[in-house]
Structure 1
């Protein structure tokens, strides 16, 4: 509030204070409501915008007290101060439209002085800010709603600035990790991370920055009881008005129960595979055991050193065969930690073929592998991926009870992706049955439990891959798996 000396004043001090045409043009072209009050707070002049603001004709306004249209006591106080020579700028008030609608107004009052510096009236300027105030109220309601949600949800919500420092943390962190919200604010995202975890997070955020799309990550952490919990977080970028990433929001959820259930399904599927393979493995072991038994008896009746060496070499070779079969069987049967490392895709497929070779021989099935010369390194969990390939190859073998051929074709694609296809000449699957494949506990096998494809698809998704099944009844089936490689 300050003393003001307007440059416009009335030389004649008559009631018509502004006869000048230019002044009328200015007053009527402004986007704000403009009015002149006399010393009794009555309207002596208003512009067109003022009449539009309140919905009255000019004749209905002139001569009326200003407090009829604008909220009374507060406005009267400001006008009185202007009549004392002060300028009042941008104070918030309310008005009432002719139809009863309440208006939010920004009010300014300026004194009008005559040549001898006496205040002879007040200029009243009104700006309709109803839309802005409604937006502010809506924003406040939304903010309160979001705060209510974030403070009462079991999800863990974090907001990071562009430097990856926490600027907001929801109370759910304290319930799970025993860390207060205050202790998290200002912490770096990489706090308490080891080198591998930090590198992984940096790659995730780089992908967000490159694509502008949210990313889902899963991490292992310790809760306040010291137990391992699995947290799945959806990290999304927040953009500013220049379409630049200004911050990030992470919504984390405790998925420990889901992970344990997935592990249980995998174990159940693995046990099912082991049970089905046990007979063929036993048959394959019986052959070298028969050789061992025969050559062991021959050794007891032969004195020639050369023959003994030859028989011992055969015995050693057969023992290695048995050892290899048992090791492959145990690698599938033994539970493994869910650790990821780089493995050669060709080696995984060759190991899978060797593992199922006994069953293929018993079923008179030939397995052909077509692969690139260059090695393909996959970041994967070896045991899980081998379980997937064993499942696909075993399905192909079982679909050809009278023998046939399975082709495994490996092909590199663009953007560091690789396509692995399992093609068989089996009975195929009808379109009706194909629709239900992958549904838990749905199976077409007499001895199956209906989890093989469900678990396989889940494992492939966790390896950032995809799976597709094409089949024609009476012709055969093709399973296509696409994965990323390094």
Structure 2
């Protein structure tokens, strides 16, 4: 036979509720602090959760007034209203823990009436919301800080969805300064509304590359402002993941690097002019030799010779003129302004053009330039003049390192289907190990007439071509410059 419940029924099935035990069960099990006060605001009942919230034991509270525990005056005024029959729910207030900590409390007060309907006491229910209020305040502070940053930064900050249309969810006010468009004119529109089809294809390729490799999306872009000025922006795009670890959206931050781009261009031009000045003597020497031959054979032609001799002399003159033309053209290609324009080009043609420029200086230093190429042609997507400037730097350094003459070896090796390795090896004096660490530092040079920009500029150009360089050297043995580039 089943035992009857002391709360809801007996063995006969009839309802028999013990209200006192039910009340005790509710008061003791509720997650909120519960108190009963008399008409003098004195504690007459406290549940366990109230002692947990405020840190006081029951015996410390019984018979004492609520306002002895440093509740704000507003709560005392509310209690007087409750005694008149009013009820207050979910009041946001503050209380004090026994250890002195301030607690955020959600409080409710209601009158407790006797059998005659008169208010005989007060019931208070307290919930500790300190943690949620702290998070709320921190969130508010973070939002305010975020608002101040986004409204005052000159960087372009935007958030767009990871959907097909890449819809903007946020755009900083700096967009209006640079492009004359308010955030309201951008948010809700697709990213592809603001870029060309070609740029859209490139951007999709970047996103696909990120999904495949996980590497950050980082690129530079040339744009025109609302005032018609050309600026260069450096974009850094980072994914934002949801709770499931899926990419929900992207954060894009674009920084104006126009000054940096222009300074780099100025450094390149300065380095190029320095090279031209140092090569001028060698070019002049190389041109002087064929000019001497031209003068001599021209005089012979004026002196009257046979037709056979004239044809022979004219062939020699023609060859010398072609030699001068090659030297001057290569020298001028290095001297003229170099726009960075990427196109398909033959690697060997760029190297041979570089050798033609440096051949006069190599002859002056009694240096032989020897090449070793694979049988297959290698094509690059590059700026030929920029790479030529890099190769001139390395080849010229190799020649100058061999004051007593020697050999410079240029070796090309395809190491992957899309990567090629170039080696510039000399038999010069080498570089002290303590100095190698400083190579590439702007304006650091070991040469009396150097300006210390060659390696700095060369390294930057190689990075723009998706390449990298490494220098190995041993004092008294020689130096090897290793260049790795992307190829087609």
TM norm structure 1:
0.82
Q: In the TM superposition, what is the alpha-carbon distance from 1:388 to its structure 2 partner?
A: 0.9
State the distance in 1 between where 2:443 and 2:18 align. Answer: 99
Q: In the TM superposition, what is the alpha-carbon distance from 1:111 to its structure 2 partner?
A: 10
**Which secondary structure does the structure 2 equivalent of 1:131 belong to?**
helix
- Of 311, 330, 333, the residue aligned with 1:331 is 333
Could you tell me which residue of structure 2 aligns to residue 420 of structure 1? 422
Contact 1:106 1:128 in 2 (8 A): yes
Q: In the TM superposition, what is the alpha-carbon distance from 1:139 to its structure 2 partner?
A: 1.6
Could you tell me which residue of structure 1 aligns to residue 157 of structure 2? 157
1:25-424 matches, cutoff 5 A? 28=28, 32-35=31-34, 37=36, 45-62=45-62, 92-107=92-107, 126-163=126-163, 164-299=166-301, 301-304=304-307, 309=311, 311-413=313-415, 416-424=418-426
Aligned residue pair count = 471
User: Which digits, 9 at most, give the CA deviation of each residue in 1:66-103, with x for residues without a partner?
Assistant: 7777767579979999x989995x66443322233222
**Cα 1:271–1:167 shift into 2, 3 Å:** same
**Cα 1:412–1:246 shift into 2, 3 Å:** farther
State the distance in 1 between where 2:466 and 2:204 align. Answer: 18
Q: In the TM superposition, what is the alpha-carbon distance from 1:252 to its structure 2 partner?
A: 2.1
Q: In the TM superposition, what is the alpha-carbon distance from 1:347 to its structure 2 partner?
A: 2.5
Could you tell me which residue of structure 1 aligns to residue 21 of structure 2? 18
State the distance in 2 between where 1:221 and 1:175 align. Answer: 14
Could you tell me which residue of structure 1 aligns to residue 4 of structure 2? none
State the distance in 2 between where 1:87 and 1:132 align. Answer: 21
Q: In the TM superposition, what is the alpha-carbon distance from 1:55 to its structure 2 partner?
A: 0.5
User: Which digits, 9 at most, give the CA deviation of each residue in 1:298-348, with x for residues without a partner?
Assistant: 5553453x6655554444333332222211111100002122223232322
Structure 1: any 5+ residue segments left out of the alignment?
1-5
**Cα 1:67–1:235 shift into 2, 3 Å:** same
**Which secondary structure does the structure 1 equivalent of 2:452 belong to?**
coil
**Which secondary structure does the structure 1 equivalent of 2:160 belong to?**
strand
- Of 451, 471, 474, the residue aligned with 2:473 is 471
Q: In the TM superposition, what is the alpha-carbon distance from 1:371 to its structure 2 partner?
A: 3.2
Q: In the TM superposition, what is the alpha-carbon distance from 1:109 to its structure 2 partner?
A: 7.7
Q: In the TM superposition, what is the alpha-carbon distance from 1:245 to its structure 2 partner?
A: 2.1
TM norm structure 2:
0.82
User: Which digits, 9 at most, give the CA deviation of each residue in 1:404-423, with x for residues without a partner?
Assistant: 11122333345843332211
**Cα 1:291–1:151 shift into 2, 3 Å:** same
RMSD, aligned α-carbons? 3.9
**Cα 1:397–1:91 shift into 2, 3 Å:** same
User: Which digits, 9 at most, give the CA deviation of each residue in 1:228-284, with x for residues without a partner?
Assistant: 112222222222222222222222222222222211111111111111111212222
State the distance in 2 between where 1:7 and 1:125 align. Answer: 26
1:453-468 matches, cutoff 5 A? 453-468=455-470
Q: In the TM superposition, what is the alpha-carbon distance from 1:454 to its structure 2 partner?
A: 2.0
**Cα 1:107–1:207 shift into 2, 3 Å:** farther
Q: In the TM superposition, what is the alpha-carbon distance from 1:38 to its structure 2 partner?
A: 7.3
User: Which digits, 9 at most, give the CA deviation of each residue in 1:106-126, with x for residues without a partner?
Assistant: 4578999999x9999998654
Contact 2:178 2:226 in 1 (8 A): yes
State the distance in 2 between where 1:160 and 1:105 align. Answer: 39
Structure 2: any 5+ residue segments left out of the alignment?
1-6, 10-14
State the distance in 1 between where 2:329 and 2:484 align. Answer: 28
State the distance in 2 between where 1:375 and 1:189 align. Answer: 40
State the distance in 2 between where 1:169 and 1:53 align. Answer: 44
**Which secondary structure does the structure 1 equivalent of 2:21 belong to?**
coil
Contact 2:96 2:103 in 1 (8 A): yes
1:427-466 matches, cutoff 5 A? 427-466=429-468
Contact 2:34 2:49 in 1 (8 A): no
State the distance in 2 between where 1:87 and 1:18 align. Answer: 27
Q: In the TM superposition, what is the alpha-carbon distance from 1:448 to its structure 2 partner?
A: 1.8
Q: In the TM superposition, what is the alpha-carbon distance from 1:151 to its structure 2 partner?
A: 1.4
**Which secondary structure does the structure 2 equivalent of 1:18 belong to?**
helix
State the distance in 2 between where 1:48 and 1:482 align. Answer: 73
**Cα 1:37–1:418 shift into 2, 3 Å:** farther
Q: In the TM superposition, what is the alpha-carbon distance from 1:28 to its structure 2 partner?
A: 5.0
State the distance in 1 between where 2:199 and 2:38 align. Answer: 75
User: Which digits, 9 at most, give the CA deviation of each residue in 1:274-295, with x for residues without a partner?
Assistant: 1111121222223333444444
State the distance in 1 between where 2:376 and 2:110 align. Answer: 84
User: Which digits, 9 at most, give the CA deviation of each residue in 1:119-160, with x for residues without a partner?
Assistant: 999986544221221122112111211211221122222222
**Cα 1:411–1:91 shift into 2, 3 Å:** farther
